[in-house]
Structure 1
Amino acid sequence: MGTKTIGIREDVYERLKARKREGESFTDLVDRLLAEAQTDWREGFGTLDADAAAQLERAAERSRRQTSAGLAHRQREVLEELSETEDMDETA
């Protein structure tokens, strides 16, 4: 495997150097930091405290009820329109 030379600012170099472990190469350091940065999206689940979780659940339930009510209302409107159309067809 080949190597690449990259340029970085002095302040970034110093920050990397400070995070480098004993016996660790800069390649190993960058590889480790990149691996740490790749987090699993599921990692943060379940970290809400009980109050925040309850508040979130209430908000989600309220949203589901509003969505359901809106869809039911629209469905009734469409059925009424269809019924009126059928009534007009029968009288024509």
Structure 2
Amino acid sequence: MATKTLTITEEAYERLKSHKRKDESFTDTVIRLTESNEDVMKGFGALADDDGFDEAAGRTRDDLDDAFDERRERRTSER
């Protein structure tokens, strides 16, 4: 296998070293960190067909609105 010599800063070396596992070489670490096996678009739209999500989000918003209104009323009445 051919090799290349790279010059990196101390900071870059320390960052890379912090990701290195005990059983890995630096080459293994660089390869592991730069692999792109996952499709970054895979998760987009995952909740689009989930009717329960819309309902739960609405309830959460209502709960937060109610809590905000209660705090505002308490502060107004304390003045």
Residue 27 (structure 1) aligns with: 27
Normalised to the residue count of structure 2, the TM-score between the two structures is 0.52
Q: Distance in 2 between matches of 1:22 and 1:47?
A: 39
List structure 1 segments (4+ residues) > 4 angstroms apart after TM superposition.
none
What is the percentage of aligned positions where both structures have the same residue?
52
Q: Which has the larger radius of gyration?
A: 1
In 2 relative to 1, CA 2–40 (structure 1 residues): closer, same or farther, beyond 3 Å?
same
Q: Distance in 1 between matches of 2:47 and 2:10?
A: 38
Q: Distance in 1 between matches of 2:25 and 2:47?
A: 35
Normalised to the residue count of structure 1, the TM-score between the two structures is 0.46
- Corresponding position: 1:17 with 2:13: no
Which letter maps to 2:8? I
Of Structure 1 and Structure 2, the greater helix share is in 1
| Gapped regions of structure 1 (runs ≥ 5) | 52-92
Question: How many aligned residue pairs are there?
Answer: 50
Aligned-CA RMSD value: 2.2
Question: 3-state SS of the aligned residue for 2:7?
Answer: coil
